[in-house]
Structures are given as C-alpha cells and as structure tokens.
Amino acid sequence: MIVIAKAIVIFFILLGAILCLIAAIGVLRLPDVYTRMHAASKASTLGVVLILVGVFFHEWFLTGVISAKILLGIVFIFLTAPVGAHLIGRAAYNTGVKMDKRSVQDDYGGFRNFVIKRKEDSYL
C-alpha cells in the first residue's frame, strides 16, 4: 500500500518537474515575447500545480495531514498565473514589441489605437 502511495507521489512530482524544465527550455528556444509567454505561463503553471498535488498526496498518504494551504495554493496559482501572463503579453503588445518575422497575421492590429469613446464599447 505504501509503495502505491509513494509511486503516485513520485509520478506527480516528476511530471511537474519535467513540465517546468520544458517551460524553461521553451523560454530559451522560442523566438519572441508572445511565444515565450505561451511556453512559460501554461507549462510552468501546470508543472507547479502538479508538484503541489504531489506534495499534497505526500502529506496525506504518509503523514495523514490534509493540508488546506496546498489546495488553496493550487487554486491561487491556477487563477493568477494565466492572468499575469495575459497582462505581460498585453503590456508588450501595447508598448509596441514586435512579433517574430515569421508571423503571418495580426488581427489585433486594427484595434491597436482603439480608444473607448462611447459607454457601450466598454465591457465594464
């Protein structure tokens, strides 16, 4: 029984660590800000969450403690990391960071200088 528990813990933590490594390689290898943000936000979010799930199972199976702090951390990282990546990417676009030269389409280009004039145009 304890072997199965350890195998589950090892599986989650190793998978999370490998995903974080893939995210780091993606940040090094990809050409521009937006593709790097794509690699860094998604892969490292899932990687950190999987490591936290592994630690949660470790606490639960081997010491019998159900740690609500780790569950809260999982929810928090899932909520905030993509929003942080969105804000960094949008700040990069709004300050005029160029896309890679192999990009073929920029659908947001027409809206670049869009300023909210009427109240109906705002989403808030």
Q: With binding defined as CB under 8 A, does residue 4 bind another protein?
A: no
Instruction: In angstroms, give the least distance from the CB of 61 to another protein.
Output: 22
DSSP codes of every residue in 93-118: HHTTPPPPTT----TTGGGTT----S
Q: Could you tell me which residues come within 8 angstroms of residue 110 by beta carbon, excluding any fewer than 6 positions away? A: none
Q: Which stretch binds another protein (CB under 8 A): 4-12, 16-24, 25-33, 81-89?
A: 81-89
Cα separation, 62 vs 85, whole angstroms? 35
Q: With binding defined as CB under 8 A, does residue 63 bind another protein?
A: no
The answer to whether residues 52 and 73 touch, using CB atoms and an 8 Å cutoff, is yes
The answer to whether residues 4 and 18 touch, using CB atoms and an 8 Å cutoff, is no
Looking only at residues 18 through 57 of this chain, which bind another protein when binding is defined by CB under 8 A?
A: none
Q: With binding defined as CB under 8 A, does residue 86 bind another protein?
A: yes
Q: With binding defined as CB under 8 A, does residue 71 bind another protein?
A: no
Contacts with another protein by CB under 8 A lie at: 69, 72, 75-76, 79-80, 83, 86-87, 94, 113-116, 122-124
